[in-house]
Amino acid sequence: MSSHTLSRREWVAASAGALALLVSRRADASAKVAITIYKSPTCGCCAKWVDHVRAAGFATTVHDVADVDAIKRREGVPTALQSCHTALVEGYVVEGHVPAADVLRLLREKPRGVRGVAVPGMPSGSPGMEMGGRADRFDVVAFGRDGRTSVFARH
């Protein structure tokens, strides 16, 4: 068995590398994206969607409100795109059972003219709606302040 003592240069390099790794891990842990969710206090599928975004690493603040529709109106969610809960994240609106991966994509890409994304209604198989083993196809729809809509993702 051979022993090797580190030179001062090797020790400094190893220490700097370890420190950089520690700092980057702490930065990752504190870099959770904050999302604020407005939902009915009695909605079970909304609570499951909250669990879904938490599991994806979002830092959630949840407000149980009596009138979620008032939030939707205030945030400009088109009536045809409305669902059971509304969330706000980094200046965007997230309406309904949008997969967390699509929210992260929205935040990464920051598409021009997009106010938010929505999964209209409550399609079976969307996050929070996994009941019964049925999974319907559904679209995530991007919407702008000008009323324009486009398909952001297909599932």
Each residue's pLDDT tens digit in the chain (155 positions)?
444 454 444 433 443 444 344 444 434 444 699 999 999 999 888 999 999 999 999 999 999 999 999 999 999 999 999 999 999 999 999 999 999 999 999 999 999 999 999 999 999 999 999 987 889 999 999 999 998 999 999 99
pLDDT of residue 33: 96
> In b/e form, how buried is each residue of 59-84, taking b as 16+ CB within 10 angstroms?
ebebeeeeebeebbeebebbeebbbb
pLDDT of residue 25: 41
pLDDT of residue 132: 78
Q: Give the residue carrying structure tokens 């979620």.
A: 68
pLDDT of residue 27: 40
| Full-model pTM | 0.79
Sheet holding 116-119, edge to edge: 59-64, 34-39, 86-89, 92-96, 116-119, 139-143, 149-154
pLDDT of residue 53: 97
Tell the CATH topology of 31-154.
Glutaredoxin (3.40.30)
Domain regions of the chain by residue span:
31-154
Q: What is the mean pLDDT of the chain?
A: 85
